[in-house]
Amino acid sequence: MSAKHQVTIPLDALARAGLRAGDRLRAEVRGPGEVVLVREDDPIERYAGSLTGVYPDGYLDELRREWA
C-alpha cells in the first residue's frame, strides 16, 4: 500500500475477476487485515435494452419529430 493508501492490483488478478480500467469498485471490510473490492452495479447498464420491443417500430421517432 502506498503512502496515499493506494493499491496496485496485478493484471492477472484483474483479468481473472473480469475487472477493467474505469470499473467502479466498492471496498468491503471483512475483518482485521481483510478488505474485499466489489464491482458496483451500474443501474443504467443493468436495464439497458430491457424495453426493446415495447413500442412499435417508428413510434419513438414519430414522438421525437413532434417534440422538435
Q: Where are the domains of the chain?
A: 11-67
Per-residue pLDDT 10s for the chain (68 aa) are: 999 999 999 999 999 999 998 899 999 999 999 999 999 987 787 788 888 888 999 999 999 999 98
d(CA 24, CA 20): 9
Buried/exposed code over 35-58 (b: 16+ C-beta within 10 A; e: otherwise): eeeeeeeeeeeeeeeeeeeeeeee
